[in-house]
Each structure stands twice: as C-alpha cells, then as structure tokens.
Chains A and B, each alone.
Chain A
Amino acid sequence: MARAVTQQRKLINTALAWGIGLLIFFPILWTILTSFKTEATAIADPPVFLAFDWTLENYEAVMERSNYAKFLWNSIIIAGGSTILGIIVAVPAAWSMAFVPSKRTKDILLWMLSTKMLPAVGVLYPIYLIFINLGILDSRVGLVIVLMLMNLPIIVWMLYTYFREIPGEILEAARMDGASLKEEILYVLTPMAIPGIASTVLLNFILAWNEAFWTLNLTAANAAPLTAFIASYSSPEGLFFAKLSAASTMAIAPILILGWFSQKQLVSGLTFGAVK
C-alpha cells in the first residue's frame, strides 16, 4: 500500500516538475524553433510549433549581415583572457588567505566583495577617459582588464572557500612522511585544488561572456563581442523574428552547451562553499 502511494507521488512530482521545467525552458526552445522558420511562419497566428518547413535561410542572412566569427572570437578572447588573468592573480591571494590566515583576512575578503558594490555606471566615464588616453578604447585588451577586475572579488572568494576545505591534517601527514615543499604542492595540494579552480574558471567565463554593460559601452567595431552583436538587433530594422531568433541562438549556443556539460561543477561552484 505504502509503495503504491509513493509511486503515485513520484508520478505527480514528475509531471509537475517536467511541466514547470518546460515552462521555464520554453522561451529558449521557442527561440531555437523560430530560428528555423520563415519570417511569415514566425509570426503566424495561431503559432506553429513543429509542423513547418525547416529552413536555414535566417542563419545565412545573419551571417551575411555581420561577421559572426569575429564577434564570437572577441567573446572567446575577452571572456577567456579575463578569466585566465583573474585566476593568475587570485590563486596566490586566496591560497595565502586560506593557509596563512591573519586577523585581517576576513576584513580583506569583505572589502574585496564590497568593491563589487561599486556601481559600474558611477565610474564609467573615468574608465572611458583612461581608456582613450591609453589608446585601448574598443580593444580586446581593455575589456580583458575591466572584466578581470570586475570579477576578481568573486574569483578570490570562490577559491578561498575551496582552499579552506582542504584539510590541514593531510598536509601534516604528508610532511610527517617526509614530503618536500615541492612534493607537497605538486602531489598533495594541487590535485585537491583543481576541481575548485575548474568551477571558478567556468563560472567566471560565463559571467564574462554574458556581461553587457562594459562590453556595450567600451567597444564599437573592433572588439565588440556577441553581446554587442545581438544588441544590434534591437533596432527597428532588425525586427524580424526569425532572423532575431537565429542571431540569438548563435549568441547563446556556445555558452549554453558549455554550461550544460559542466552543470555539476557549476552547482558546487555557485554555492561559494557556504551551503553545506
């Protein structure tokens, strides 16, 4: 009897969860479907779901209109570069805070997070001026630097929480067994730190990929990433649903695929080690 009840409950849970899941996912699904329709089918009333003639003409039109490869490449360089640079700066900092904590460690961490509270718009013009003077406005270098600094507090926090989870006893045991400092770092600490670093890299890559304020305001033709590519479709001439959908699909596909493949690492990374 009890078993029947749980089976029934499982069925209800499944139906409910799938219903809500599909509802949340629907805008993405609808965008992808629409990207394969003709413009006329895209705005048909009543809407057409699957029974239409699939076409690739929108993708061709988007490719003709703008150089997708260049935007994509800019996105990869900017998101990748800022993440790598951020990791290089943050790993030693988080490492020393986790393993040689002092009375001020907590204050420094909170101060770092508070720099994220500095509204970007409040410092937009100074950054703009500095960039003009340095000649790095509308350059990938400039955006790499800004996005690195913007995400640095988050990187340090995440790494710090991961490193803190590495138990000190393991280190001591390795030392008792006569491991040198080099061996200790190479064979004991690194393998334990890699998963945390991987989640951090992933989350920051996604944040940098989707960041729109700085990329829209500091780039024009040269360094514009996919956020700018898609924003050009907000003008009236871009108001074609099927083409807009194709461009949207092209902008989100790379990161969506990356996100899905790595969702396990992301889940642990997103929680800042604080949810146990």
Chain B
Amino acid sequence: MATQHSRSAARLMMAPAVVLLLGWMLVPLIMTLTFSFKQYLPLRGGDLGWVGFDNYVRFVSSSAFWPSVVATLTIVGGVLIITVVLGILLAILLNQPMWGQGIVRILVIAPFFVMPTVSALVWKNMFMDPVNGLFAHLWKFFGAEPVAWLSEASMPSIVMIVSWQWLPFATLILLTAIQSLDSEQLEAAEMDGAPPIKRFGYIILPHLGRAITIVILIQTIFLLAVFAEIFVTTGGAFGTRTLTYLIYQRVLESQNVGLGSAGGVYAIILANIVAIFLMRIVGKNLDA
C-alpha cells in the first residue's frame, strides 16, 4: 500500500508540522544559548559582550538555585502522588453502581475547566485568607487559631491548589481505563474468594498501568511549568519559588537576560532528564 508515490505525498503532508515545530524549538533555543554566554542587561547598557560560563556559574552558585529545584520537584512529585492515588480511589468509586452518576461526574471534572489564575485567586482569597477565608472561619468555629496558609504552610497550600486542578484529569483517564476492565474476571476472582485488596493489587492495578503512565506523562509536562498559581498566590515568596519562577524573575523583573538564559538552559536540561525517563516508559507502553 505504501508506494513510492504515497510516501513522498506523506512527507509533503508532514512537512508543515515538522518544519514549524523544528523552528519553534531551534530558533529560540539558539538565541537562549547565545544570550546565556553574554552579559545582557536590556535596561542597563544592553549587550555587554561575551562572558563565557560566568552566568552558568553565577546561576548555580546563587543561594536561590537549589531551593528552586527542590521546590519544582516537590510540586511535581507532590501533585503526582496526590492526584494518582486519589484519582484511582475516585475512579473505583465512580465506577460503582449509584444514582446520579452523570451529575457526580460533572461535579468532579469541573475544576479542570477553571483557569489556573482563577483557581489560585479563589483559593488564596476566599479559602486561605487568614482573616476572612472560609478555612479561618472553620478554624475559629472549632476554637483553633486561623492559619496564614500561604505564608506558614506555603508549599502544601500550593500543592493542594494544583492538585485540585489536576485531580479531575487523573480521575477521568483512570475511570475510562477501569470501565474497560473485564468484569467477568473480577467476578471470577470474587467467586474464588479473593479479598478486595488482592483483587485490587492483582487485577485492577496492573490493568491501570497504561492509564497511570499517561496521567504521569501529561501532568509532568504541565506541572514542570506551573506558573500562574505561584504568580497569583505567593509571587515566589515563602519557599515556593520554582525554577520556572526564578528564571522568570531574573529575566523579566531584574532584566538580566544573560543570567536568566543560563537558568533557562538549566531548566531545559532538568526537563530533558525528566523527559528521558518518561519517554522510556511511554515508548514501552504506547504502541506508537
């Protein structure tokens, strides 16, 4: 079926997408690499010439660097664990017979449609505000001292907000996967007297393997770049400065493009280390 003719037609059809993505990847990447070796201060003299690896050394030796890597990985790891574990439990629950399943499903997936800026603002002001927030009212009702969530427990608060946004995605994908599970197999196991824990561990969990892979892959891509939630809530203060946010501050707020670009190269390296792991798993799991 794949004749010489159809092959060249296929190449022609793929060309626009490939060329566009190649340009999208290479042009800014080369510019970032170039800037990273320069002293480049747009508001203070502009391009001040080559400085070799100075920016790289300065970025890594800055006291903000390692905490930002830790903050990034904490958010990605924390949200992944919460959304995958709760997603599995929720998917199993939603797959049980019940009344009003369709409506419950709509309630559960709703946060996925809420834009990150809105969700961050709503959580910050209406729930986590230490004076007027709903949590403060609740704490006072039980006689406890209200907590200033975003300054005292900043990281857990951000992980919570981001998890709320991504739980629907995980639940939906896992629910779809559970629905395709052969119920006869489960019934047979139940007849044979396998307890729920064993049925979960030996039948349900292996069946969900691929779906869990997809959830982890897609979420990692988006979580490494979490920005709006931090921009709106803490502005990077209280230990919530991720690598993305640190670079953003260097480039846009301090207008040090050279230093920020070196940070950008580090971020690209970090993303690629994560990507290599993910691609291995995906390459194995997906029949591409």
Which residues of A are in contact with B by a Cβ distance under 8 Å? 6, 9-10, 13-14, 16-18, 20-22, 24-25, 27-28, 30-31, 34, 43, 45-47, 89-90, 92-93, 95-97, 99-102, 105-106, 108-110, 112-127, 129-130, 149, 152-153, 156, 168, 206, 209-210, 212-213, 216-217, 226-227, 230-231, 233-234, 239, 241, 244-245, 248, 251-252, 255-256, 258-260, 263, 266-268, 270-272, 274-276
B-chain residues with CB within 8 Å of residue A270 when the two chains form the complex: 169, 172-173, 176
Chain B 14-30 near chain A by CB (<8 Å), digits 1 or 0: 10111011001101110
With A152-B21, A276-B180 in contact, do A241 and B94 touch (Cβ < 8 Å)? no
Closest 5 pairs (CB-CB, A-B)? A122-B264, A96-B10, A123-B28, A92-B13, A126-B31
- Distance between Cα atoms of A252 and B31 in the complex (Å): 36
Does B10 contact A31, Cβ atoms closer than 8 Å?
A: no
Contact A234 B121 (CB under 8 A): yes
CB distance from B169 to the nearest CB of A (A): 7
Contact with A along B106-143 (1 / 0, CB 8 A): 11111111111111011111110000101001001100
Selected from B13, B17, B113, the residue in CB contact (under 8 A) with A259 is B113
CB-based contact A17/B98 at 8 Å = yes
With A241-B126, A275-B214 as known contacts, state yes or no: A46 contacts B264, CB within 8 Å. no
A117/B221 in contact, CB under 8 A: yes
The contact sample of 27 A-B pairs, CB cut-off 8 A, is A18-B100, A21-B107, A28-B111, A99-B10, A100-B10, A101-B2, A108-B14, A112-B21, A117-B221, A117-B272, A121-B227, A122-B32, A126-B31, A129-B31, A212-B115, A212-B117, A212-B227, A233-B121, A244-B122, A245-B122, A251-B117, A260-B110, A266-B172, A271-B173, A271-B176, A274-B214, A275-B211
Contacting residue for B113 out of A27, A112, A153, A252, CB 8 A: A252
Is A272 a contact of B214 with CB atoms below 8 Å? yes
Query: What B residues does A123 contact at CB under 8 A?
Result: 28-29, 31-32, 264
CB-CB under 8 A for A234 and B232, given A206-B113, A271-B176: yes
A275 to B175, CA, bound (A): 10
B183 contacts A by Cβ under 8 Å: no
* B contact face: mostly helix, strand, loop, or mixed: helix
Q: Report which of B24, B104, B119, B264 forms a contact with A17, defined as CB distance below 8 A.
A: B104
Is the CB–CB distance between B225 and A120 below 8 Å? yes
Q: Which of B93, B97, B125, B247 contacts A244 (CB 8 A)?
A: B125
Inter-chain contact B231/A256, CB cutoff 8 Å: no
Complex CA gap A6/B97 in Å reads 9
Q: A117-B275, A125-B32 are in contact. Are A25 and B227 (CB under 8 A)?
A: no
> Once the chains bind, are A21 and B99 in contact (CB under 8 Å)?
no
B56 at the A/B interface (Cβ < 8 Å)? Answer: no
A217 and B228 alpha carbons, distance in the complex (Å): 11
Taking a contact as CB atoms under 8 Å apart, the answer to whether A119 and B225 are in contact is yes
What are the interface flags for B140-168 relative to A under an 8 Å C-beta threshold, 1 for contact and 0 otherwise?
A: 11000000000000000000000010011
Q: Which residues of B contact A110 (CB under 8 A)?
A: 279, 282-283, 288
Beyond A213-B227, A217-B252, whether A93 also contacts B90 by CB under 8 A is no
Q: How far, in angstroms, from A56 to B14 measured CA to CA in the complex?
A: 52
Tell me whether B98 and A121 are in contact (CB under 8 A). no
Cβ 8 A contact of B115, one of A116, A125, A226, A266: A226
Q: Once the chains bind, are B98 and A213 in contact (CB under 8 Å)?
A: no
Query: In the bound complex, how far is the Cα of B107 from the Cα of A212, in angstroms?
Result: 24
**Does B43 belong to the interface (CB within 8 Å)?**
no
